[in-house]
Chains A and B, each alone.
Chain A
Amino acid sequence: MNLLVRLRPVAFIAVLLVVWQWAISRQAAPLLPGPLAVLQGLGELGQSGLLLKHVVASLFRVTWGFAAAALIAIPAGLAIGWYRRSEMALNPLIQIIRPISPLAWIPIAILWFGVGDMSAIFLIFLASLMPLTLTAINAVQTIPNVYVNAARNFGLSHAALVYRVLYPAVIPRLIIGLRLTLGIAWLVVVAAEMIAVNSGLGFLIVDARNAGNRYDLVVAGMVMIGAIGLILDTGIRSLEGIKSLRWGYSDD
């Protein structure tokens, strides 16, 4: 029963693949490669070692850009949220920077860091910075006052208040924010790689088209992006099952 429920999405994807293949086979001049061709493309990339190389390159950039952003944005956001005045002072600036697409920074990234890894990492860093800061600000502001008062009542020092109350109280919300932001970072890495570097899944897609209209490889790159996105998301989601965090996710 449970297994059947779990298999339902897989079955649905299988049906879609069959329909896809069937639709392609009825077309004289295909607008899209079929799933079999894509699978072949993936095999080809896997055998030549290119697939692994591009995946590793993309993951490397996302890891560094995302980690650097988290390291700065989370403590900064928590501090900004805790001190109401600093939030009032900084909020207009945050709201101005926020709607600027990280991709608008591409020319500046190239100007500062040249064409290479640093540019791409910088773009991912920028893309992750704002959502993580806002998540942290919001997380700290929604801590129920009663937790803070209870902690003060027991005579906790400032450091202990941060470590024993603020930190555990914000973790569930931070994890949600990390999850959403990792999705954004993964979107941006592809765009950054199309312009600023010559490796990674984004580069693979552009290169496959430029070097001979290999649309099977273009779609293979897209499939890989989706698959890795799913794995990253599942990884972070699994944190939500930890017993001491579960209170933050369910309403019962």
Chain B
Amino acid sequence: MTDAAPTKLRVRGINMVFERDGVRTPVLENIDLEVGEGEFLCLLGPSGCGKSTLLNIMAGFLSPTSGEVTIDGSGVTGPDPRRVFVFQERGVFPWLTVEGNIGFGLFKLSREEREQRVAHYVSLVGLQGFEKAYPQELSGGMKQRVEVARALAVNPDMLFLDEPFGALDSITRLIMRSELLRIWQAERKTIIFVTHDIDEAVQLADRVAVMSVRPARIRQVVEIDIPHPRDFSAPRYLELRDGIFEQIGLAHKV
């Protein structure tokens, strides 16, 4: 599905060791990964395995102990507006309205262009009527949409999403997933999405990179060869999901 796409991001030999009070904790071990242009990749692993650390390294917020990340062929040295990181809804600025948040990164545009762009993304994420509302007045799902819209508004070529729907209830989460897919299909960004939820990964991604417990390695990259919209009860869906369950070493019975 993405074989033909040129490589967007390449991770080579990343190792990350945290040192605290003289104790060395290896977090990432020999990570190699390639992500194609326009691809939707999920980093899947248990909580605390280091997948967020890997995402922060890719986004330029952390420097790896060794190894390198290149995007479009040049090394990543810091965060960049061409690649926007979406935090959980915590990242919305509470002192700005919905409009103010979505327009936050558009300071280089003229006022007119900015207003147009903001209006476009307000409607893309379905927040019409809430332009003047402050985050405090919004639900968790709405705040999450503000963050996604704020990221998309600067027209980045990549999005990094760190368990963006983790704090939402399960119904809102499903809605947000299909909204994200709709937006992704409309705008064709390269998306790297961190999650610990196997179903979420199989529902969303072109490929799922399954990570081990700490120190994290990439155990396997699973291609999800099902077209969207995906049927959660189709045999192929269940087969892929169960394969990942086994890969992680879980029997899927409670």
Chain A residues near B (Cβ < 8 Å): 144, 146-147, 149-150, 152-156, 160, 164-165, 168-169, 171, 243-248, 250, 252
Q: Which residue of B lies closest to A245 (CB)?
A: B95
Q: Please determine whether B134 and A153 come into contact, CB atoms closer than 8 angstroms.
A: no
Contact of A146 with B136 at beta-carbon distance under 8 Å, contacts A153-B59, A154-B154, A244-B95 already known: no
A155-B81, A160-B107, A244-B96 given; A150·B91 CB < 8 A: yes
Is B90 in the interface zone, CB < 8 Å from A?
yes
Interface of A, helix, strand, loop or mixed by DSSP? helix
The B84-123 residues at the A interface (CB cut-off 8 A) are 84-85, 87, 90-91, 93-97, 104-105, 107
Contact of B136 with A247 in the complex, beta carbons under 8 Å: yes
* Complex contact B61–A149 (CB within 8 A): yes
Note all chain B residues with C-beta closer than 8 A to A147.
91, 93
B134/A149 in contact, CB under 8 A: no
Say what secondary structure dominates the interface of chain B. loop
Partner of A246, one of B61, B83, B93, B134: B134
On chain A, the residues within 8 Å of B164 by CB distance are none
> Min CB distance, B142 to chain A, in Å?
15
Q: Is B46 an interface residue (CB 8 A)?
A: no
Are B80 and A155 within 8 A (Cβ)?
yes
Task: Find B85's partner among A150, A155, A171 (CB 8 Å cutoff).
Answer: A150
Among residues of B, the one whose C-beta sits closest to the C-beta of A157 is B107
Answer whether residue B135 sits at the interface, using C-beta atoms and an 8 A cutoff: yes
Q: Are A246 and B104 in contact (CB under 8 A)?
A: no
B79 within 8 A of A: yes
CA gap between A247 and B138 in the complex, in Å: 12
Provide 28 A-B residue pairs closer than 8 Å at the C-beta atoms, listed in order of the A residue: A144-B90, A146-B87, A146-B90, A146-B91, A147-B91, A147-B93, A149-B85, A149-B87, A150-B91, A150-B104, A152-B78, A153-B59, A153-B83, A154-B105, A154-B154, A155-B80, A155-B105, A156-B107, A164-B104, A165-B93, A168-B96, A243-B134, A244-B97, A245-B95, A247-B95, A247-B134, A247-B136, A248-B94
Chain A residues with CB below 8 A from B93, complex form? 147, 150, 165, 168
